[in-house]
Amino acid sequence: FKNTQFQPTTMIESIRGGDMSAFSALIGSLMSPDNATRTTGESMLNELKAQPDILATCLINALRHSEAVEHRSLCAVLIRRVLTRDDELWPKLSPPLKHNVKSELLACLHQEPERSITRKVCDSVSEIAVEIFDEVKGEVMKSTNAESENDAVVQHTVQTFLKENQGWPELLPFIFQCVQTGNPSHAESAFLVFDQLARYCMDMLIQYLGTIHGALSAGLANPSLDVKICAFSATTTFIGFLESAAEREKFQSLVPSLLGVLSEALNAGDEIAANTAVENLIEVADEHPRFLRKQIHDVAGAMIKIAEAESLDDATRRLAAEFLVTLCEARDKAPGMMRKLPQLVQQLFNCCVAFLLEIDDDPSWHTADDEKDEDAGETELYEFGQECLDRISMSIGGKSMLPVAGQAFSALMADGDWKKRHAALVGLAQIAEGCERVMKQEPVLSELVAMCVKGTSDPHAKVRWAACQGLGQLCTDLCPDLQESHHEPILGALIGLMEDFSNPRVQAHSCAAVVNFAEGCDQDIMGPYLDALITKLLALIRNGRKNVQEGALTAMASIADASGDYFIKYYDECVPLLREILEKASDRSYHMMRAKTLECISLVGMAVGKEKFGPDAAGIMQIMQNVQTAGLDPDDPFASYMLQAAARICTALGQDFVPYLPIVMPPMLQAAGAKPDFKVADADDEGAGNDEDDTETFFVAGKRVSLHTSALDEKATACSMLCCFAYELKEGFCQHVEEVKNIMIPLLKFYFNEEVRIAAAQTLPELLKSYVEGASKGMGPTEDMCRNLAIELWPQLVDSLKSEVDPNVVHVMLQSVQEMIDVAKGPMLMPVDLMGPVFDAFQVVLKDYEERRDMRMERTEGEDFDAEEEEALMEEHEAESELLDALGNSLTSILKLYGDAALQFVEALLPNFSTFLGPARYVEERRVALILMDDVIQYSPAGAAKYANQVLPQLLQGSADQDPGVRQSCVYGLGRTAEHRQGDFKPHAQNAVNIVLAIINDSDARSEENILATENAVGALGKFLEFHPECVDPAAGTLFVQNLPLMEDDEEARVVHPQLVRLVSSNDMRILGQSNANLPKIMEVLVKILGQGEKLISAEDTPAAVALVKQLNGVVPGVFERSMSGMKPKQQEAIMAAMQ
């Protein structure tokens, strides 16, 4: 701009006067490599935005008439940015200019010679069309007072407006005309625009299905492959955005043409075009898999050929396999469809196994000591093959997958090529989770273990490594069955591999497999192997390579966690070595080892307990403080490991940990309160946030938000650890309640990570408990402080429950609701009027539950629904049942603590729960509804008076139900009705007694399946004996005693056992038996009860039981001693402690 004629002010005036040479200079300045010139140009452009008509006119004129290709190209981009995307000036243009812009853009598509420019103009046309469509829709919504754009009236009126030439009447005829002209450039432009219209303006297109079908069909048959690919994309997009299955069905006939275009692209060697086509089909498979059902054989067959074709690029093969895996995963929309193609399942499995063969024996793999080379020799195809096998097995299921896999694995393991044996073992590891139920059955389980154990002695190190991988994954996915039945061959093989010092990768991976084994193992199974394991691991820690040492430390940590106090024997040998490493491993290359050592020490401490670990705890905490004070590198894992280690040490020490809180709380609070590290970009910017693997992407308010997952994980860990501190320390945590509360409340709605929300919800009742315990022990908090805290926390938790959409988080929040009520002791800290909002939240929870249930039921109506899909559906239902149980438990606590005051709220939910009693409902739903009525009868006198007569027939009928859970709920209710509504119960008493006696006397009464129902029947019998003696044969008293103690239902036990003490103390002859014949049994029962501590009888009721034992000891001598001799040492200690 050195020439004064082109100074910014002069130029702006010239442009306003219509001088296109001045505007051309402005466009040139925007492309200048000189920053100052470019900045000046951007400033002038921004100034022109204040006069939209002038700017739009100049852009259109330059686009249409500039001789400089680069100027036209930039103008095409600026038209889109200025009019729609960034500045949204389109609504500000005058009507005549809007008409001119639309006309010129369409003319440009006809006349512009440069393909790159026409594609940009297509974007502008599409976005302006969307803008116009939205304007029409907005006006219609305003005129009809509609709240949603999906309102039927809105959609009909919009269509009418568009038919009456409102908006851009020339656009669709132009598109259809372009398809017919025979000019490839015109047709390509038409389909590019149509592709975008299908995404955002379906209401405008839906009226022309026949014409659109013809246009798409013509495009797919066009001689130009470029046109065909554009038509392909437009077709799949249109199908994807059609909401009606019936309307999608009208386009079924285009599927062969789509496959033909894909084949043509591959035959022409244009794999880029072919990949684009497959990506589009993947979107259809994901959104509308049933659209492909009628031609699934042809579509899947074509894709499997592509995936198997070694002559094609790996990227092309991966996309074809991805398409097939996507169809396998479409269980919600097309359940069982792919299982109807067993040959295809086998072909797809074999294809994925072939991908696993794309691996080399890279020398650097064998010597890898860190993450850099640990995957050396693995190709992208190999990694994708692993991923696919996992996803296929999870979606297809074990019954279809394992027969195919088993046959293939046998052949691969017998092959002389190490790659094939390696593929068999890695493949087994990948499918284990999805085939879990089938793999647990014999002889399958033994065969799979034998296959892996055989692999541990393979001559090739990578195969032995893969055998460890297989064993480890089986231990994780098939626990505890695998550990219980095959511990000897598995641990024998893994311990043997620890001797392979010439192959440290195998040694390290054998340690990793031991970790998997230990995590699902009972201490009694682990016990006999501890000597050998600890000896081997200590040798590896002392003499192994760094990666082996790290693996051995993790294995020792897991073994200690599994073996509990059995590890005390090895404490004095292990901990000094661990402490030495912790103190000396300060070099950067040993940071991970130091972190794993801390993890190991903390788990050992938790296993052996305070008495053994306590003397060392202070030194360990001092080391942690010293490391923290010295400062940590940003990538040092010690910081995150320290969070978890501190929580474990806290668990081990209990209240003795309180002095160490000043050391651990600052980093814990900092990590929990840290703001997430995120990047924000436009939602359609697909390249944003994909630069790093350690990211997770969310879409919020039209923006793409990318966060570092490691930071989210650390935040979630810190929140969980704070919850642990509050839970373990109770009153000892009082001084930190306020600062933790201020962090946790906002995190209830931290939608970037469900684990953070779960930890926040779990922490709130623990904070209240800390204050309540502190107040009861005079440690600072007052009752008013407790009340204020409860009143502050409660609405936050309830509001979060109401807005939460993740069922897993809802489940936890419901548990926290119950805990808050219990800790607050209901009205002591929270007045009953605070219950109204939580019942509103319960209504939302039940509504969402029903919607998810309806979606599951819809899957049962699919033509491909089968037994395996039904099994998967039941697994989902079981998870949902836990949510219902949590809701029911919350209602129990509310009724128990508020009684009649809560009845009005409960009654508002009764229609929902009445629905659960319908004949088509799951037994778990019926059980929850029956328990609610049990609670109303037990805890609400007004409710019992109102509903007992309605409920009793259902309880009597349900007591004979085939499902033991329903029987349990009903006999429990009969007992409570007998106690609390004696008059209502009396007419039904004899029937109830007969039902209960039948349950107790059944030959299968004490089976694992029936024991809870039987124990509740025993409890009901006790109620009948006490409150309706005239209806019960006196001999039933002996039956009552003979079925005690109750060992499985702790809650019922703590009710029935004090009743036994009460009846015996009152000399009830039905209980004592003829000539006191039942006294020895009663003494035996009481000893067993006391041996379980507070599990079977509350601390409040224990003194009366002890007094009765002392009294009976003189009446039935020797019985106490005989009963004691049959108890375990810990039970004997509990009895003697109670007796003192």
With 0-12 / 13-18 / 19 or more C-beta atoms within 10 angstroms meaning exposed / middle / buried, residue 1075 is: exposed
Between CA 335 and CA 341, with CA 336 as vertex, the angle to 5 degrees is 145
- For position 693, what pLDDT does the model report? 61
CA distances from 742 to 314, 448, 983 (A): 52, 52, 52
* Residues in contact with 398: Cβ distance below 8 Å, sequence separation at least 6, in sequence order: 434, 435, 436, 437, 438, 439
Distance of alpha carbon 420 from alpha carbon 359, whole angstroms: 10
Q: What is the pLDDT of residue 978?
A: 95
| Percent above pLDDT 70 for the chain | 95
Neighbours of 108 (CB within 10 A): 24
Q: Which residue has the tokens 């022109």?
A: 48
Residues 6+ away with beta carbon under 8 Å from 499: 536
CB under 8 Å to 1020, separation ≥6 — which residues? Answer: 971, 972, 974, 975, 978, 992, 996
pLDDT tens for 545-565 read 999 999 999 999 999 999 999
| For residues 812-829, average pLDDT | 97
Phi-psi region for residue 698, left (φ > 0), alpha (ψ -120 to 50) or beta?
Answer: beta
Cis ω before 443 (30° cut-off from 0): yes
- Interatomic CA distance for residues 795 and 789, integer angstroms: 11
Q: Tell me how far apart the alpha carbons of residues 555 and 518 are, in angstroms, rounded to a whole number.
A: 8
Helix and strand element counts for the chain (H, E): 57, 3
| E strand or H helix at 770 | helix 754-776
How far is residue 1101's CA from residue 1089's CA, in Å, rounded to a whole number?
11
Closest CA to 78 of 68, 89, 67: 89
**Strand partners for 46:** none
Structure-token match 């452009």, residue found: 45
pLDDT category of residue 598 using cuts at 50, 70 and 90: very high
| Residue 967 neighbours by CB distance under 10 Å | 23
The Cα 123–Cα 189 span in angstroms is 10
Yes or no: say if 1046 and 968 are a contact pair by the CB < 8 Å rule: no
Residue 535: both structure tokens together: 């000896």
Distance of CA 955 to the CA centre of its chain: 37
The yes-or-no verdict on residue 691 having pLDDT over 60 is no
- Residues linked to residue 807 through DSSP beta bridges, in sequence order: none
How is 943-1004 classified by DSSP, letter by letter?
Answer: HHHHHHHHHHHHHHHHTT-SSHHHHHHHHHHHHHHHHH-HHHHGGGHHHHHHHHHHHHH-TT
**Residue-wise over 157-182: b if at least 16 C-beta within 10 A, else e?**
bbbebbeeeebbeebbebbbebbeee
pLDDT band at 701; cut points 50, 70, 90: low
Residue-wise pLDDT for 299-328, tens only, equals: 999 999 999 999 999 999 999 999 999 999
The model's pTM = 0.83
- Sign of the Cα torsion 80, 82, 87, 92 reads negative
Q: Are 977 and 948 in contact (CB under 8 A)?
A: yes
Distance CA 9, CA 11 (A): 5
Residue 165 pLDDT class (50, 70, 90 cuts): very low
Integer Cα distance of 675 and 540 in angstroms:
41
- H or E segment to which residue 157 belongs: helix 152-163
Instruction: Give CA separation, 179 vs 235, 626, 916, 1040, in Å.
Output: 14, 75, 57, 87
In the three-class reduction of DSSP (H, G, I as helix; E, B as strand; rest coil), residue 1007 is classed as coil
Widest pairwise Cα distance in the chain: 125
The three-point CA angle 22-27-29 to 5° equals: 95
**Mean pLDDT estimate for the chain:** 91
In this prediction, residue 1044 carries a pLDDT of 96
Binned at pLDDT 50, 70 and 90, residue 5 comes out as: very low
Q: Which residues of 735-747 are buried (b: 16+ CB within 10 A; e: fewer)?
A: bbbeebbebbbeb
- Identify which of 852, 862, 853 has the alpha carbon closest to the alpha carbon of residue 289: 862
pLDDT digits (tens, 9 = 90+) for 707-744: 778 788 889 999 999 999 999 999 999 999 999 999 99
